[in-house]
Amino acid sequence: MEPEIASFTFSRKNLAGKLATTLRWLGCFQAFQIARITVLFIAYPIGGGEFHAMFAYTDAGHGEVAVVVALWLVLSAFGASLVLQTFDCGVPWWGLAVLSAASAAIYWTSVEHWSPMSPEFRELANQLAWCIPPACFLSSGIARLFVGRKHGDA
């Protein structure tokens, strides 16, 4: 007989399923992190090259480079989401959208907290911080449309 606590039944089968689901979600989050690292390394081949491109030789920061880095983040989210959905990772498309937005937002906080930076660049970084997660969410939805049409269920 399995113990019941406040109408919840605990069993090894339930715990194994919940653990598998949790590990699946964490693995997908890690896939977004790896995709971001790979894409930014290809775009800026020096370790931390995107920070060098944004902040080198100036106290103000290069705003146009920050916009390009933000676009690379969205592109990496789209690519990882497309791959994960194509191979049916077990996480729904909206879950992948949330994970991609979280991954990009966590990375962008390191850009926002870089010092020194001009007030204009800080304002641009803060504006991009509000734009990047919805863009990643939408890119995951667009990836779902591509995969759904491929599998014939969209």
User: Residues 91-104: pLDDT tens digits?
Assistant: 998 999 999 999 99
Check if the beta carbon of residue 90 is closer than 8 Å to that of residue 32: no
Residue 5 is predicted with a pLDDT of 53
- Look-up: residue for tokens 């995107």? 50
Residue 82 lies in a domain: yes
Question: Quick check: is 46 in a domain?
Answer: yes
> Per DSSP, which regions of the chain are E strands?
4-5, 8-9
**Amino acid 10: pLDDT:** 59
- Give pLDDT, residue 80: 95
Residue 2 covered by a domain: no
18 is a domain residue: no
**In-domain check, residue 6:** no
- Whether 113 is covered by a domain: the verdict is yes
- The number of domains in the chain is 1
Domain extent at residue 82: 25-151
In a domain, 58, yes or no: yes
Ranges in the chain, pLDDT < 70:
1-13, 47, 149-154
What residues does 9 pair with on adjacent strands? 4
> Is position 1 within any domain?
no
- pTM, two decimals, is 0.81
- From the list 80, 74, 78, the residue with the least C-alpha distance to 27 is 80
